[in-house]
Chain A
Amino acid sequence: MRDVAIIGTGCTKFGELWDRSLRDLFVEAGVSAIVDAGIQGEEIDGLYMGNMSGGRFVEQEHVGSLIADYSGLASELHVPATRVEAACASGGLALRQGILAVASGYADIIVAAGGEKMTDVDLDTATDALAAAADREWEGIMGATFPGLYAMIARLHMHKYGTTSEQLAAVSVKNHHNGTMNPIAQFRNEITIDTVLRSNMVAEPLHMFDCSPISDGAAAVVLAPADVAKKYTDTPVYVKATTQASSPISLHDRADITTLDASVVAGQRAYKMAGLTPDDIDIVEVHDCFTIAEICAIEDLGFFKKGDGGRASEDGETAIGSSIPVNTSGGLKACGHPVGATGIKQAVVITEQLRGTAGKSQVDGAGIGMTHNVGGSGGTAVVHIFSRDR
């Protein structure tokens, strides 16, 4: 196995992008990444694309072929293109597949991308498409929605650990604040605890401002063998760990409803693979599809003990300037959550932070960063650790 590095990144704006199609978004992100890496199309050995539900959102499957074609890589170069799906973890998984391809030696230069076009359908169709990440036959048919499943996690977290609605809201307030510093973020406005608590109830105890939005967007990274990365860029970012774990797809089958054990295991595997501990991580992008999801994530990844995530969020222990800044991009909540794009966008954000080019949200001296991408209510978790130094 070879070490792997990120040598280029690209990302579209996230939001309601009604003037652009799924292919437009993928091509924009991919071309940005290729230009950033300074590579030519002839050098690309393969494409991996995270996309949860082109079929439901824009009635388009066979996304690999489509994007290879409209990237100008199909008609003459015939570059292999593979779509990867694991619900909201599709992007993280596409990145992992790309890393494995380069690490194995089968490929040298890979573009790993993710994209989703979610605003072409109405809200209840989008809600239903997202509900397909749960068990349709035994959760969906009972009337479960994604906010509903995470609401049940939140309810039990409150019951067991005394977590409050204000603590959940604090996650959203912090992520909106971080979003104000992110030029691609869907929401770039400050909010208050009251904004969250006064917003419409979606699934009790989760309000609308506890939920990530429906978004369009795409992101891409270029991967290369670490040994040659400096040929392309002065600031490669090295992959120290790529891990993944599965857990029962249904929330009701988990040993502990308030723990995403796929996150715990993927995290532990990543720390082991990188030879690091949670204390070594300078910055992390976690999967905050709902405020409670960020609280569970920072506990499950070992940054705070179980039950302490709400208090830590309220006390500012995850803000920029704390010992573990969480979601400097604004996270899924404020940056937006085009589901297939999210796992790749997280890697783009960490790469910028480790390169020292993250602008206003730059964390001083960030040397090691982590990404955490979850599919469904925790059936899949993907974790990556990146380092500025090899």
Chain B
Amino acid sequence: MTVARFWRKIPHRYNLIGTHCTTCGEYYFPPRQMCPTCRRDGKIESYQFEGKGEVITYTVIHTAAKGYDNQVPYNLAIIKLNEGPSLTGQVICEPGELEIGTRVRPVFRKLGEESEKGMIYYGTKFVPE
């Protein structure tokens, strides 16, 4: 992994800043510069999401990719934000606390790391409300 790929989206990743198309009213997170509905007629502006939402589906990861293997088992979920869009994120809670429909709020956490001496990535995780 390279450093810039994750650094350059720090404002979005740390603060849940997405985008909003003022032409059709749709909200996008992760941020999109091209509205899939309006395409070139779309007018895109930045939008700060509150970050609260609902778990649509989830899993508990037992076999992780490189840089995440020291965290297993961990909960991964698709969360539908109140404003509409869905995102993928980890939910920190006890097993059994997480169900489809669980309401969650965002927290700032370490996401992963390149290696013991490598870069640490930070971003948004979620906890039950």
Contacts and interface: CB of A to CB of B under 8 A. Distances in A.
A138 B67 CA distance: 16
Contacts of B88: 138-139, 142, 144, 250-252
A139 B86 CA distance: 12
Given A136-B5, A152-B76, A143 B57 contact: no
**Would you call the interface of chain A mostly helix, strand, loop, or mixed?**
helix
A209 to B, nearest CB: 13
A148 B61 contact: yes
Given A148-B76, A251-B88, A141 B111 contact: yes
Interface string B88-110: 11100000000010000000000
A317 B58 CA distance: 29
B65 A128 contact: yes
A128 B114 CA distance: 12
Interface in B38-90: 56-69, 71, 74, 76-78, 85-90
A147 interface: yes
B57 A145 contact: no
B59 A142 contact: no
Interface stretch (A78-86, A187-195, A196-204): A196-204
A203 B72 CA distance: 10
Given A143-B112, A203-B60, A156 B65 contact: no
B66 A203 contact: no
A201 B60 CA distance: 9
- Of the four ranges (under 10, 10 to 19, 20 to 34, 35 or more), the interface on chain B belongs to 35 or more
Contacts of B64: 124, 127, 143, 145
B66 A127 contact: yes
B90 A128 contact: no
A145 B71 CA distance: 13
A145 B5 CA distance: 18
A143 B90 contact: yes
Contacts of B86: 252-253
A131 B68 CA distance: 12
Interface in A122-136: 123-125, 127-128, 131, 135-136
B74 A143 contact: yes
B111 A145 contact: no
A141 B58 contact: no
Given A141-B112, A156-B57, 5 more contacts: A141-B123, A156-B56, A203-B62, A203-B63, A250-B88
14 contacts: A127-B64, A127-B65, A128-B65, A131-B65, A141-B6, A142-B76, A143-B61, A145-B65, A147-B61, A152-B57, A152-B78, A204-B59, A205-B59, A250-B30
